[in-house]
Amino acid sequence: MDNQHLTYESIPDVDIKEELVESDDETPWNIDTECSVEESAIKRQRLNSSNEEESCMDEEELQSPETIFVQMGYETEESNSEEEMDPLAQDDENLIGDVAEEKKTKKGNSSYGGCHVEADEVIAMYMLWQIFKKRQKIKKREWVQPAMSERYKCGIFHLHFKDLVNNSEKFFNYFRMNLTTFNELYGLLEESLRFQNTNMRCAISAKERLVVTLRYLASGCKLTELHNSFRIGISTLRSIIKDTCKKIWNILQPTMLPVPTVEKWKEIAELFWKRGNFPNCIGAIDGRCFQTVSPNSCTSRRKKTWTSLVLLAVCDTDYCFTLVDIGKKNSDVFEESSISNLISSNSLNLPPPCPLPNTSSPNLPFLMVGDEAFPLSRNVMRPYGGKNLKGEKSVFNYRLTRAQRFIECSFGIFSNKWHIVQRPFNVHEDFATDIIKACVILHNFVITRDGFLFEDTLTQVGLIDFVGNGNQRSRNAAKIRDHLAKYFVGTGSVPWQMS
């Protein structure tokens, strides 16, 4: 190969043209043009000097091209000066002198920075210099961010949790439950939330995992706020909260939200007649919508799209949920829900039909009360449609609304207790579903132990009403509703229903 003329075809398969075009030289180095080895060295030195400032790694961790050449067996000539100079750090004046000397001698071998090299070796040197340049661009990353390493000293759990334990009022406001309820919940989840320490780092304790999750559900804050207060990474927080919500549902659901038995349904029906003045009622049903990020959404915040999840719930007179279903919003969400499937398949353990109180016949089925969003069926009653209703229809709608208010109050307690449901979920559907399930279980768990505040039943914050396709009806269900309407103005009337 000619030492003075290099062609692009003679260079091994490496992408060097792009690197050369980005140099500070006004005219890019085109290898196809005639160029001496020394002139190429000058251009390489200029490229190297311009890229030295971009290096972000320690010099001790990188090997210079000269060191690599020495390891390859190239002999170098020591400089006559007192201090040894780096071949790639010589100034343009010395290199120009070498070029002039080369033009005079016209010898086959080239001298570059004290190294006797051939043209093939120049190409190898340039390829090694490219590797050296790419290694310089690698950035060192810290194992733990400095702020996160101070978690045991500055994290809110390690600083203020003991103070909250000593103040019952502040503890309740912070976690939306009493200390005894928290300790009982922690005792049920402790074993499943405990992780083993490793040689690399200590695991986050089970109690801190539960505290972080409860604070996220109770306050409705963003993960960034928890990141700054608890000194835990955002990705770690997301993993902890999602895992804890799943375990809350899996461990507590069999005891806090089981399918009621026949005796339990009868007990609920008696309380609905006593407190809501509606006979043969096993629960009030309604739904609420929650916005969440679509799984196909773009990562850009401006292009983010949202979808809706619907929580269908049935409650008793104690404002506890007895049946729940979470699904995507559509016109047939109730027909496709697990609640509807349980009703249609007779899997709800409902008591057999029986006469209304103070009557001997006919036998009417046990049913749920809902609003206009639900279809009229044998086991689901909805109000009469239309405006300016009078007589039996008006009284029936009043009595049904009176019983249906229990689910409205339940959602009020639900939203005022767990503020996370008051805003759109900035997470994907599967994570949002786990959050809603955990809040439903915690709603029943807390309300059966700590009770509720009456003012929480009066308002619902941030919840969107469910609008379904309630136009479907059956003739048998219409006859049941008409019979109830006549009963309410006759044997089953109450003094205040006409006022």
- Say what the pTM is: 0.70
Would you say 242 and 306 are in contact if contact means Cβ atoms under 8 Å apart?
A: no
Return the closest-CA partner of residue 409 out of 368, 463, 367.
Answer: 463
Measured between its terminal Cα atoms, the distance across the chain in Å is 109
| In the chain, where the domains are located | 8-136, 162-254, 263-498
Would you say 14 and 71 are in contact if contact means Cβ atoms under 8 Å apart?
A: no
Q: Where are the alpha helices (DSSP H) in 257-293?
A: 262-276
Q: Cβ of 331: how many Cβ atoms within 10 Å?
A: 10
Return the closest-CA partner of residue 474 out of 368, 382, 352.
Answer: 382
Tell me the two tokens of residue 365: 């089925």
Return the closest-CA partner of residue 376 out of 363, 367, 364.
Answer: 367
Helix 234-256 to helix 179-193 angle, to the nearest 10 degrees?
110
pLDDT string in tens for the chain (499-residue length): 444 444 434 444 444 344 333 444 444 444 444 445 455 555 555 555 555 544 444 444 445 555 555 555 554 444 444 444 444 444 444 544 554 455 444 444 444 455 555 677 778 888 888 777 776 655 556 666 767 777 788 888 988 999 999 999 999 999 999 999 999 999 999 999 999 888 877 889 999 999 999 999 999 999 999 998 999 989 999 999 999 999 999 999 999 999 999 999 999 999 999 999 999 999 999 999 998 876 655 444 555 677 889 999 999 999 999 999 998 876 678 888 999 999 989 899 999 999 999 998 889 999 999 998 899 999 999 999 888 888 899 999 999 999 999 999 999 999 999 999 999 898 888 999 999 999 999 999 999 999 998 888 888 887 888 776 666 667 889 999 999 999 999 999 998 887 6
